[in-house]
Amino acid sequence: MKRNAIKYTIILAVLSVAGIFVIQFGILKNSYSLNEQQFHESATVALKEVAWQLLQAGGQTEKFDNIEPVERLDNNYFLVNVNDIIDPEVLGIQLREQFNRHALHLDFEYAIYNGELDSMIYMEYVCAGSDSCKHTPTSWFPKSAKYEHYFSVYFPTLKPFIRERLKGWYLMTSLLVLVLTFFGYAIWVIIRQRRLSETQKVFINNLTHELKTPISSISLSAQVLSDKSILDNPERLFAYVKIINEQSARLGKNIEKVLKMATLEKNKINLVKEEIVIGEFVGKTVVRFGHSELGQPARIHFHDTTTPIRIWADPFHLGNILQNILENAVKYCKRQPEIDISIQIVHHKVHLKISDNGIGIAPEMRKKIFKKFYRVPTGNVHDVKGFGLGLNYVDKLVRAHRWSITVSDNDLGGSVFNLIIPVIHE
Protein backbone atom coordinates (compact mmCIF):
# COMPACT_ATOMS: atom_id res chain seq x y z
CA MET A 1 0.00 0.00 0.00
CA LYS A 2 2.91 2.32 0.79
CA ARG A 3 4.45 1.74 -2.64
CA ASN A 4 1.13 2.51 -4.37
CA ALA A 5 0.72 5.67 -2.27
CA ILE A 6 4.14 6.94 -3.40
CA LYS A 7 3.31 6.05 -6.99
CA TYR A 8 -0.01 7.90 -6.96
CA THR A 9 1.57 10.88 -5.17
CA ILE A 10 4.24 11.18 -7.86
CA ILE A 11 1.65 10.88 -10.66
CA LEU A 12 -0.51 13.56 -9.01
CA ALA A 13 2.53 15.82 -8.55
CA VAL A 14 3.56 15.43 -12.21
CA LEU A 15 0.01 16.21 -13.39
CA SER A 16 -0.11 19.25 -11.08
CA VAL A 17 3.20 20.57 -12.41
CA ALA A 18 2.06 20.01 -16.01
CA GLY A 19 -1.23 21.79 -15.25
CA ILE A 20 0.56 24.78 -13.71
CA PHE A 21 2.83 25.05 -16.76
CA VAL A 22 -0.14 24.92 -19.14
CA ILE A 23 -2.08 27.57 -17.17
CA GLN A 24 0.92 29.89 -16.83
CA PHE A 25 1.87 29.73 -20.51
CA GLY A 26 -1.81 30.13 -21.44
CA ILE A 27 -1.98 33.32 -19.36
CA LEU A 28 1.29 34.55 -20.91
CA LYS A 29 0.01 33.87 -24.43
CA ASN A 30 -3.29 35.63 -23.71
CA SER A 31 -1.45 38.61 -22.23
CA TYR A 32 0.69 38.85 -25.35
CA SER A 33 -2.41 38.69 -27.59
CA LEU A 34 -4.17 41.32 -25.44
CA ASN A 35 -1.21 43.72 -25.63
CA GLU A 36 -0.98 43.13 -29.37
CA GLN A 37 -4.70 43.92 -29.73
CA GLN A 38 -4.33 47.08 -27.61
CA PHE A 39 -1.45 48.18 -29.81
CA HIS A 40 -3.54 47.65 -32.96
CA GLU A 41 -6.39 49.72 -31.51
CA SER A 42 -4.09 52.51 -30.34
CA ALA A 43 -2.21 52.57 -33.65
CA THR A 44 -5.47 52.65 -35.62
CA VAL A 45 -6.84 55.57 -33.57
CA ALA A 46 -3.53 57.46 -33.83
CA LEU A 47 -3.32 56.96 -37.61
CA LYS A 48 -6.94 58.10 -38.07
CA GLU A 49 -6.08 61.29 -36.21
CA VAL A 50 -3.01 61.73 -38.43
CA ALA A 51 -5.22 61.33 -41.53
CA TRP A 52 -7.66 63.95 -40.14
CA GLN A 53 -4.82 66.40 -39.43
CA LEU A 54 -3.43 65.97 -42.96
CA LEU A 55 -6.83 66.64 -44.53
CA GLN A 56 -7.39 69.59 -42.20
CA ALA A 57 -4.05 71.09 -43.20
CA GLY A 58 -5.15 70.92 -46.85
CA GLY A 59 -8.67 72.16 -46.13
CA GLN A 60 -10.16 68.87 -47.29
CA THR A 61 -11.79 67.56 -44.09
CA GLU A 62 -15.04 66.80 -45.94
CA LYS A 63 -13.25 63.87 -47.59
CA PHE A 64 -12.75 62.15 -44.21
CA ASP A 65 -16.37 60.96 -44.01
CA ASN A 66 -16.14 59.32 -47.45
CA ILE A 67 -13.05 57.18 -46.79
CA GLU A 68 -12.02 54.28 -44.54
CA PRO A 69 -8.66 55.71 -43.64
CA VAL A 70 -6.80 52.89 -41.87
CA GLU A 71 -6.27 49.37 -43.17
CA ARG A 72 -4.11 46.89 -41.26
CA LEU A 73 -2.30 44.57 -43.67
CA ASP A 74 -0.21 42.77 -41.03
CA ASN A 75 0.43 42.86 -37.28
CA ASN A 76 2.99 45.65 -37.72
CA TYR A 77 2.09 47.10 -41.14
CA PHE A 78 -0.63 49.74 -41.74
CA LEU A 79 -1.86 51.52 -44.83
CA VAL A 80 -3.59 54.91 -44.40
CA ASN A 81 -5.75 56.29 -47.23
CA VAL A 82 -5.89 60.12 -47.39
CA ASN A 83 -7.13 60.56 -50.95
CA ASP A 84 -5.23 63.83 -51.20
CA ILE A 85 -1.67 64.98 -51.77
CA ILE A 86 0.40 64.45 -48.58
CA ASP A 87 2.91 66.94 -47.22
CA PRO A 88 5.93 64.87 -45.95
CA GLU A 89 6.88 67.45 -43.32
CA VAL A 90 3.36 67.64 -41.84
CA LEU A 91 3.08 63.83 -41.94
CA GLY A 92 6.33 63.34 -40.01
CA ILE A 93 5.32 65.83 -37.32
CA GLN A 94 1.82 64.37 -36.92
CA LEU A 95 3.04 60.76 -36.74
CA ARG A 96 5.49 61.60 -33.94
CA GLU A 97 2.92 63.66 -32.05
CA GLN A 98 0.04 61.16 -32.27
CA PHE A 99 2.20 58.13 -31.43
CA ASN A 100 3.53 59.93 -28.36
CA ARG A 101 -0.01 60.89 -27.29
CA HIS A 102 -1.06 57.23 -27.46
CA ALA A 103 2.10 55.95 -25.69
CA LEU A 104 3.35 54.11 -28.78
CA HIS A 105 7.02 54.65 -28.00
CA LEU A 106 8.65 52.42 -30.60
CA ASP A 107 10.55 52.77 -33.86
CA PHE A 108 8.58 53.10 -37.08
CA GLU A 109 9.11 53.62 -40.77
CA TYR A 110 6.77 55.40 -43.11
CA ALA A 111 6.47 55.97 -46.83
CA ILE A 112 4.26 58.21 -49.00
CA TYR A 113 2.68 56.97 -52.22
CA ASN A 114 1.82 59.36 -55.03
CA GLY A 115 -0.76 57.93 -57.45
CA GLU A 116 0.07 60.41 -60.20
CA LEU A 117 3.71 59.29 -60.24
CA ASP A 118 2.84 55.67 -59.28
CA SER A 119 5.76 55.47 -56.85
CA MET A 120 6.80 55.91 -53.24
CA ILE A 121 8.07 59.48 -53.19
CA TYR A 122 9.27 59.69 -49.58
CA MET A 123 10.55 57.26 -46.92
CA GLU A 124 11.86 57.85 -43.42
CA TYR A 125 12.89 55.77 -40.38
CA VAL A 126 12.02 57.30 -36.98
CA CYS A 127 13.61 56.10 -33.75
CA ALA A 128 11.55 56.07 -30.57
CA GLY A 129 12.17 59.07 -28.32
CA SER A 130 14.49 60.79 -30.79
CA ASP A 131 13.97 63.54 -33.35
CA SER A 132 16.81 62.29 -35.52
CA CYS A 133 17.82 58.73 -36.32
CA LYS A 134 20.75 57.22 -38.20
CA HIS A 135 18.67 54.30 -39.46
CA THR A 136 17.48 54.31 -43.03
CA PRO A 137 14.24 52.67 -44.19
CA THR A 138 14.99 49.12 -45.23
CA SER A 139 11.49 47.71 -45.51
CA TRP A 140 9.84 47.15 -48.82
CA PHE A 141 6.53 49.00 -48.93
CA PRO A 142 4.21 47.20 -51.36
CA LYS A 143 2.01 49.33 -53.61
CA SER A 144 -1.75 49.19 -53.36
CA ALA A 145 -4.02 49.66 -56.37
CA LYS A 146 -6.98 50.54 -54.13
CA TYR A 147 -5.91 54.10 -53.29
CA GLU A 148 -4.43 57.02 -55.21
CA HIS A 149 -2.85 58.92 -52.33
CA TYR A 150 -1.89 57.12 -49.12
CA PHE A 151 0.96 56.56 -46.73
CA SER A 152 2.23 53.30 -45.16
CA VAL A 153 3.59 52.79 -41.64
CA TYR A 154 5.69 49.83 -40.57
CA PHE A 155 6.72 49.03 -36.97
CA PRO A 156 9.95 46.91 -37.13
CA THR A 157 10.33 46.68 -33.33
CA LEU A 158 6.78 45.70 -32.44
CA LYS A 159 7.67 42.33 -30.85
CA PRO A 160 10.40 43.77 -28.56
CA PHE A 161 7.97 46.59 -27.66
CA ILE A 162 5.29 44.12 -26.53
CA ARG A 163 7.85 41.97 -24.71
CA GLU A 164 9.01 45.04 -22.81
CA ARG A 165 5.42 45.60 -21.66
CA LEU A 166 5.25 41.97 -20.52
CA LYS A 167 8.62 41.83 -18.76
CA GLY A 168 6.86 41.47 -15.39
CA TRP A 169 4.99 38.42 -16.68
CA TYR A 170 8.18 36.98 -18.15
CA LEU A 171 9.93 37.41 -14.80
CA MET A 172 7.10 35.68 -12.95
CA THR A 173 7.07 32.86 -15.51
CA SER A 174 10.85 32.43 -15.19
CA LEU A 175 10.58 32.23 -11.40
CA LEU A 176 7.75 29.71 -11.72
CA VAL A 177 9.80 27.61 -14.12
CA LEU A 178 12.73 27.73 -11.68
CA VAL A 179 10.53 26.67 -8.75
CA LEU A 180 8.91 23.87 -10.75
CA THR A 181 12.32 22.72 -11.96
CA PHE A 182 13.50 22.33 -8.37
CA PHE A 183 10.22 20.60 -7.57
CA GLY A 184 10.73 18.21 -10.48
CA TYR A 185 14.31 17.58 -9.35
CA ALA A 186 13.03 16.79 -5.84
CA ILE A 187 10.59 14.25 -7.28
CA TRP A 188 13.40 12.70 -9.34
CA VAL A 189 15.57 12.43 -6.20
CA ILE A 190 12.69 10.76 -4.32
CA ILE A 191 12.20 8.22 -7.13
CA ARG A 192 15.95 7.59 -7.34
CA GLN A 193 16.27 7.17 -3.57
CA ARG A 194 13.31 4.82 -3.55
CA ARG A 195 14.87 2.65 -6.25
CA LEU A 196 18.22 2.77 -4.49
CA SER A 197 16.56 1.80 -1.22
CA GLU A 198 14.89 -1.20 -2.86
CA THR A 199 18.14 -2.21 -4.55
CA GLN A 200 20.09 -1.93 -1.30
CA LYS A 201 17.41 -3.96 0.46
CA VAL A 202 17.85 -6.76 -2.10
CA PHE A 203 21.64 -6.48 -1.72
CA ILE A 204 21.44 -6.74 2.07
CA ASN A 205 19.18 -9.79 1.79
CA ASN A 206 21.64 -11.43 -0.62
CA LEU A 207 24.61 -10.45 1.52
CA THR A 208 22.91 -11.84 4.63
CA HIS A 209 22.19 -15.10 2.82
CA GLU A 210 25.69 -15.41 1.33
CA LEU A 211 27.40 -14.74 4.68
CA LYS A 212 24.99 -16.68 6.87
CA THR A 213 25.29 -19.95 4.90
CA PRO A 214 29.08 -20.43 5.26
CA ILE A 215 29.01 -19.21 8.87
CA SER A 216 26.33 -21.78 9.70
CA SER A 217 28.33 -24.53 8.00
CA ILE A 218 31.53 -23.54 9.83
CA SER A 219 29.66 -23.36 13.17
CA LEU A 220 28.08 -26.79 12.66
CA SER A 221 31.41 -28.33 11.66
CA ALA A 222 33.12 -26.76 14.67
CA GLN A 223 30.50 -28.28 16.99
CA VAL A 224 31.09 -31.72 15.48
CA LEU A 225 34.88 -31.34 15.79
CA SER A 226 34.56 -30.32 19.44
CA ASP A 227 33.37 -33.85 20.20
CA LYS A 228 36.40 -35.97 21.23
CA SER A 229 34.90 -39.07 19.65
CA ILE A 230 35.58 -37.57 16.20
CA LEU A 231 39.22 -38.54 16.68
CA ASP A 232 38.19 -42.18 16.34
CA ASN A 233 36.92 -41.51 12.80
CA PRO A 234 39.71 -39.76 10.84
CA GLU A 235 37.77 -39.76 7.54
CA ARG A 236 34.85 -37.93 9.14
CA LEU A 237 37.32 -35.55 10.82
CA PHE A 238 38.97 -34.65 7.50
CA ALA A 239 35.54 -34.24 5.84
CA TYR A 240 34.50 -31.60 8.37
CA VAL A 241 37.89 -29.90 8.19
CA LYS A 242 37.43 -29.73 4.41
CA ILE A 243 33.97 -28.16 4.90
CA ILE A 244 35.45 -25.52 7.20
CA ASN A 245 38.22 -24.73 4.66
CA GLU A 246 35.77 -24.48 1.74
CA GLN A 247 33.27 -22.34 3.60
CA SER A 248 36.04 -20.10 5.00
CA ALA A 249 37.32 -19.57 1.45
CA ARG A 250 33.78 -18.79 0.26
CA LEU A 251 33.25 -16.36 3.13
CA GLY A 252 36.56 -14.64 2.46
CA LYS A 253 35.78 -14.36 -1.25
CA ASN A 254 32.41 -12.70 -0.59
CA ILE A 255 33.94 -10.24 1.85
CA GLU A 256 36.73 -9.48 -0.63
CA LYS A 257 34.15 -8.61 -3.34
CA VAL A 258 32.34 -6.18 -1.09
CA LEU A 259 35.58 -4.56 0.13
CA LYS A 260 36.88 -4.32 -3.44
CA MET A 261 33.81 -2.38 -4.58
CA ALA A 262 33.98 -0.15 -1.49
CA THR A 263 37.62 0.65 -2.33
CA LEU A 264 36.67 1.53 -5.93
CA GLU A 265 33.95 3.88 -4.67
CA LYS A 266 36.31 5.76 -2.34
CA ASN A 267 39.46 5.90 -4.43
CA LYS A 268 40.23 6.58 -8.06
CA ILE A 269 41.28 3.41 -9.87
CA ASN A 270 45.04 3.31 -10.14
CA LEU A 271 46.02 1.56 -13.36
CA VAL A 272 49.52 0.20 -13.89
CA LYS A 273 49.50 -0.37 -17.63
CA GLU A 274 51.97 -2.44 -19.56
CA GLU A 275 52.23 -3.95 -22.99
CA ILE A 276 50.34 -7.27 -23.11
CA VAL A 277 49.99 -9.92 -25.80
CA ILE A 278 46.23 -10.33 -25.54
CA GLY A 279 46.11 -13.92 -26.88
CA GLU A 280 48.67 -15.24 -24.40
CA PHE A 281 47.05 -13.38 -21.52
CA VAL A 282 43.56 -14.70 -22.28
CA GLY A 283 44.91 -18.23 -22.68
CA LYS A 284 46.55 -18.17 -19.23
CA THR A 285 43.40 -16.69 -17.67
CA VAL A 286 41.27 -19.47 -19.20
CA VAL A 287 43.58 -22.15 -17.83
CA ARG A 288 43.54 -20.55 -14.38
CA PHE A 289 39.75 -20.26 -14.44
CA GLY A 290 39.41 -23.89 -15.55
CA HIS A 291 41.19 -25.02 -12.38
CA SER A 292 38.80 -23.07 -10.14
CA GLU A 293 35.66 -24.51 -8.56
CA LEU A 294 33.38 -22.62 -10.95
CA GLY A 295 35.51 -23.29 -14.02
CA GLN A 296 35.79 -27.07 -13.65
CA PRO A 297 32.32 -27.97 -15.04
CA ALA A 298 32.66 -25.52 -17.99
CA ARG A 299 33.87 -26.31 -21.48
CA ILE A 300 35.87 -23.34 -22.72
CA HIS A 301 36.94 -23.02 -26.37
CA PHE A 302 39.51 -20.32 -27.04
CA HIS A 303 40.30 -19.26 -30.62
CA ASP A 304 43.53 -17.29 -30.66
CA THR A 305 44.89 -15.31 -33.60
CA THR A 306 47.83 -16.54 -35.68
CA THR A 307 49.83 -13.38 -35.04
CA PRO A 308 50.41 -11.79 -31.62
CA ILE A 309 48.30 -8.70 -30.88
CA ARG A 310 49.53 -6.23 -28.30
CA ILE A 311 47.52 -3.85 -26.14
CA TRP A 312 48.11 -1.49 -23.20
CA ALA A 313 46.36 -2.72 -20.07
CA ASP A 314 46.69 -3.29 -16.35
CA PRO A 315 47.18 -7.08 -16.19
CA PHE A 316 45.69 -7.39 -12.70
CA HIS A 317 42.47 -5.56 -13.59
CA LEU A 318 42.19 -7.14 -17.05
CA GLY A 319 42.38 -10.54 -15.36
CA ASN A 320 39.58 -9.53 -12.99
CA ILE A 321 37.43 -8.35 -15.94
CA LEU A 322 37.76 -11.70 -17.70
CA GLN A 323 37.32 -13.63 -14.44
CA ASN A 324 34.03 -11.88 -13.65
CA ILE A 325 32.60 -12.39 -17.13
CA LEU A 326 33.55 -16.08 -17.11
CA GLU A 327 32.06 -16.57 -13.63
CA ASN A 328 28.77 -15.06 -14.75
CA ALA A 329 28.72 -17.27 -17.83
CA VAL A 330 28.88 -20.33 -15.57
CA LYS A 331 26.58 -19.11 -12.79
CA TYR A 332 23.78 -18.05 -15.15
CA CYS A 333 23.64 -21.31 -17.05
CA LYS A 334 21.11 -24.10 -16.42
CA ARG A 335 23.00 -26.77 -18.40
CA GLN A 336 26.65 -27.65 -18.86
CA PRO A 337 28.37 -24.31 -19.54
CA GLU A 338 29.83 -23.91 -23.05
CA ILE A 339 31.99 -20.80 -23.39
CA ASP A 340 33.49 -19.68 -26.68
CA ILE A 341 36.22 -16.99 -26.69
CA SER A 342 37.49 -15.38 -29.88
CA ILE A 343 39.74 -12.46 -30.83
CA GLN A 344 39.20 -10.34 -33.93
CA ILE A 345 40.66 -7.12 -35.28
CA VAL A 346 38.15 -4.54 -36.53
CA HIS A 347 39.39 -1.04 -37.51
CA HIS A 348 42.59 -1.30 -35.44
CA LYS A 349 40.71 -2.46 -32.35
CA VAL A 350 40.61 -5.82 -30.61
CA HIS A 351 37.14 -7.33 -30.32
CA LEU A 352 37.44 -9.89 -27.52
CA LYS A 353 34.17 -11.83 -27.65
CA ILE A 354 33.05 -14.16 -24.85
CA SER A 355 29.97 -16.17 -25.85
CA ASP A 356 28.03 -18.44 -23.48
CA ASN A 357 25.00 -20.73 -23.59
CA GLY A 358 23.36 -19.38 -20.44
CA ILE A 359 19.90 -17.98 -19.79
CA GLY A 360 20.62 -14.86 -21.86
CA ILE A 361 19.90 -11.22 -21.09
CA ALA A 362 16.78 -9.48 -22.37
CA PRO A 363 17.46 -6.32 -24.45
CA GLU A 364 15.78 -4.04 -21.89
CA MET A 365 18.09 -5.35 -19.13
CA ARG A 366 21.41 -4.98 -20.98
CA LYS A 367 21.99 -1.42 -19.81
CA LYS A 368 20.95 -2.25 -16.25
CA ILE A 369 23.30 -5.20 -15.73
CA PHE A 370 26.29 -2.87 -15.29
CA LYS A 371 24.58 -0.96 -12.46
CA LYS A 372 25.56 -1.64 -8.89
CA PHE A 373 23.53 -4.37 -7.10
CA TYR A 374 21.47 -5.14 -10.23
CA ARG A 375 20.93 -8.84 -10.95
CA VAL A 376 19.09 -10.46 -13.82
CA PRO A 377 15.83 -11.86 -12.39
CA THR A 378 15.78 -15.66 -12.18
CA GLY A 379 12.51 -16.19 -10.35
CA ASN A 380 14.25 -16.68 -7.01
CA VAL A 381 16.82 -14.22 -5.84
CA HIS A 382 18.91 -16.96 -4.21
CA ASP A 383 19.01 -19.32 -7.19
CA VAL A 384 22.28 -17.72 -8.29
CA LYS A 385 24.79 -16.69 -5.65
CA GLY A 386 26.11 -13.15 -5.80
CA PHE A 387 25.54 -9.50 -4.91
CA GLY A 388 25.14 -7.84 -8.30
CA LEU A 389 28.63 -6.31 -8.06
CA GLY A 390 30.58 -8.28 -10.67
CA LEU A 391 29.50 -6.54 -13.86
CA ASN A 392 29.47 -3.15 -12.15
CA TYR A 393 33.12 -3.81 -11.26
CA VAL A 394 33.78 -4.80 -14.89
CA ASP A 395 32.15 -1.61 -16.17
CA LYS A 396 34.23 0.61 -13.85
CA LEU A 397 37.46 -1.04 -14.96
CA VAL A 398 36.54 -0.87 -18.64
CA ARG A 399 35.77 2.86 -18.31
CA ALA A 400 39.02 3.43 -16.41
CA HIS A 401 40.92 1.86 -19.34
CA ARG A 402 38.87 3.99 -21.79
CA TRP A 403 37.63 0.84 -23.50
CA SER A 404 34.06 -0.15 -24.26
CA ILE A 405 31.94 -3.25 -23.73
CA THR A 406 28.72 -4.38 -25.40
CA VAL A 407 26.25 -7.20 -24.81
CA SER A 408 24.29 -9.02 -27.51
CA ASP A 409 22.41 -12.26 -28.11
CA ASN A 410 24.21 -15.49 -28.87
CA ASP A 411 22.67 -17.22 -31.91
CA LEU A 412 23.04 -20.56 -30.09
CA GLY A 413 21.41 -19.20 -26.92
CA GLY A 414 22.91 -17.14 -24.14
CA SER A 415 24.84 -13.88 -24.43
CA VAL A 416 27.92 -12.43 -26.09
CA PHE A 417 30.11 -9.96 -24.19
CA ASN A 418 32.30 -7.97 -26.58
CA LEU A 419 35.27 -6.16 -25.04
CA ILE A 420 36.65 -3.53 -27.47
CA ILE A 421 40.27 -2.52 -26.91
CA PRO A 422 42.59 -0.31 -29.03
CA VAL A 423 45.56 -2.11 -30.58
CA ILE A 424 49.11 -0.77 -30.27
CA HIS A 425 50.73 -3.35 -32.58
CA GLU A 426 49.13 -5.78 -35.03
Q: Which of 51-55, 132-136, 405-409 has the lowest mean pLDDT?
A: 132-136
In the predicted model, is pLDDT for residue 371 greater than 70? yes
What is the amino acid identity at position 142?
P
Classify residue 146 by its DSSP letter: S
pLDDT score at 230? 76
For range 120-136, the mean pLDDT = 75
On average, the pLDDT of the chain sits at 80
pLDDT score at 341? 92
Rounded Cα–Cα distance for residues 72 and 161 (Å):
18
Classify residue 425 by its DSSP letter: B
Sheet holding 149-154, edge to edge: 70-74, 77-81, 149-154, 108-114, 119-126
If you count DSSP H runs as helices and E runs as strands, how many of each does the chain have, helices first? 8, 12
Q: Please, which pLDDT band fits residue 353 given cuts at 50, 70 and 90?
A: very high
Domains and CATH numbers, the chain: 2-165 (no CATH), 167-266 (1.10.287.130), 274-422 (3.30.565.10)
Rounded Cα–Cα distance for residues 150 and 148 (Å):
7
pLDDT score at 266? 55
Rounded Cα–Cα distance for residues 81 and 94 (Å):
15
Rounded Cα–Cα distance for residues 190 and 197 (Å):
10
In the predicted model, is pLDDT for residue 92 greater than 60? yes
pLDDT score at 381? 45
For range 40-65, the mean pLDDT = 82
Which one of 129-138, 168-177, 209-218, 332-341 scores highest in mean pLDDT? 332-341
In the predicted model, is pLDDT for residue 420 greater than 90? yes
For range 351-367, the mean pLDDT = 84
Q: Are strands 119-126 and 108-114 parallel, antiparallel or unpaired?
A: antiparallel
CB 416 within 8 A of CB 353: yes
User: Which position has the higher pLDDT, 389 or 289?
Assistant: 289
Classify residue 71 by its DSSP letter: E
